[in-house]
Amino acid sequence: MIPYIMKRYVATETRSGNPGDPELMQFAAEAGVSYVLRRDRSIARIMAEEEADGVIVWKQEGPVLDLGGERFFYHPSMGKNRVSQIRKGHSDPMIEAMGLKRGWEVLDCTLGLGADALVVSFVVGDEGRIVGVESSPVTAAIVRWGIKKYSKGPAWLKAAMDRIEIICADHLEVLKQLPARSFDIVYFDPMFRHPIKSSCAISPLRQLADHRPLTEEAIAEALRVSRSRVVLKERVGSTEFERLGFKPVFTGEHRDIAYGIIEAGS
Ligand SMILES: C[S@@+](CC[C@H](N)C(=O)[O-])C[C@H]1O[C@@H](n2cnc3c(N)ncnc32)[C@H](O)[C@@H]1O
């Protein structure tokens, strides 16, 4: 367990669910949370009795974290919309910044909800590879099991989701263990130093997320691991680009966001 994540979450079944479901037990162990019996209790009562900041309910369609109002669960939403645009022949600024090609291997060091990883997965296709690293055990487990349980939408969407390999760890530890030049692209989308208030898609994620700033050591390791480029997403005008040695070059239709790159071997 990573020390900065001080919140306490518990996992339980639905009111009509199977107590002690083996998949729920596996999920709870991966997420690093305690399992509690539902005993027909409301979410508010579980939160009070178990002194929990949130309750993860094991639903047929995947785990749902209830924070006492706000809910967090896996959904391909933003990634799916972007893939639909790419399928219609539109460009995507993140893909442009990466210079991404079919068959490439990408290490996403900040998986979050996996929206960017889904877009990458679609573009690299089944000859490529996408590995997502997420240091928040609850986020990683919700996304991993949410993808496993996701059964809606077209076959191409499910195929792209299923290709995302998820590792729950600090990206620096993962990078340090990787051989030189083992991925084409290494990508970072850290929690913005100054969040965009209107970005409600990731608002519940904020409570779960690792908010530590990127380190120069992680960027140096990423440059060693990358064959093509290291890409950083940040707010337009962020001082993080300069601090970490990136040239902010690509902005999308979303005026607030920019992508910086450092070419491998530069
Ligand atoms: C802004 S979100 C990423 C959103 C993601 N690109 C998407 O499309 O859904 C940043 C995520 O990176 C994770 N994170 C931050 N620092 C990390 C680290 N050192 N190692 C692994 N994950 C990290 C946070 O916990 C958070 O879930």
Q: Mind listing the pLDDT tens digit for each residue in 217-246? A: 999 999 999 999 999 999 999 999 999 999
What pLDDT digit, counting tens, does each position of 163-173 carry?
A: 999 999 999 99
How many angstroms separate the alpha carbon of residue 113 from the centre of ligand 1? 8
State the CB neighbour count (10 A cutoff) for residue 68.
13
User: Which ligand 1 atom is nearest residue 191's CA?
Assistant: 1
How many angstroms separate the alpha carbon of residue 209 from the centre of ligand 1? 7
Please determine, for residue 61, whether its predicted confidence score (pLDDT) is greater than 70: yes
Please determine, for residue 121, whether its predicted confidence score (pLDDT) is greater than 80: yes
Residue of 5, 98, 111, 178 to mutate, ligand 1, most atoms within 8 A of C-beta: 111
Q: What is the mean pLDDT of residues 14-26?
A: 96
Q: What is the mean pLDDT of residues 117-129?
A: 98
Please determine, for residue 193, whether its predicted confidence score (pLDDT) is greater than 90: no
pLDDT of residue 199: 52
pLDDT of residue 219: 98
Please name the residue whose Cα sits nearest to atom 4 of ligand 1. 112
Please say whether the beta carbons of 148 and 140 come within 8 A.
no
Please determine, for residue 104, whether its predicted confidence score (pLDDT) is greater than 50: yes
Please say whether the beta carbons of 233 and 248 come within 8 A.
no
User: Which ligand 1 atom is nearest residue 133's CA?
Assistant: 21
How many angstroms separate the alpha carbon of residue 214 from the centre of ligand 1? 10
Ranked by mean pLDDT, which of 202-206, 238-242, 245-249 comes out on top? 238-242
Enumerate residues lining ligand 1, CB below 6 A: 109-110, 112-116, 133-136, 139, 170-171, 189-191, 202, 205, 209-210, 212
Name the pairing type of β-strands 62-66 and 54-59.
Answer: antiparallel
pLDDT of residue 249: 81
pLDDT of residue 3: 42
The pair of structure tokens assigned to 175 is 């990078």
Q: What percent of the chain has pLDDT over 70?
A: 93
Residues whose CB falls within 8 Å of the CB of residue 50, separated by 6 or more in sequence, listed in order: 8, 10, 34, 36
Amino acid identity at 169: A
pLDDT of residue 206: 82
pLDDT band at 203 (very low <50, low <70, confident <90, very high): low
User: Which ligand 1 atom is nearest residue 171's CA?
Assistant: 20
Rounded mean pLDDT of the chain? 92
How many angstroms separate the alpha carbon of residue 62 from the centre of ligand 1? 21
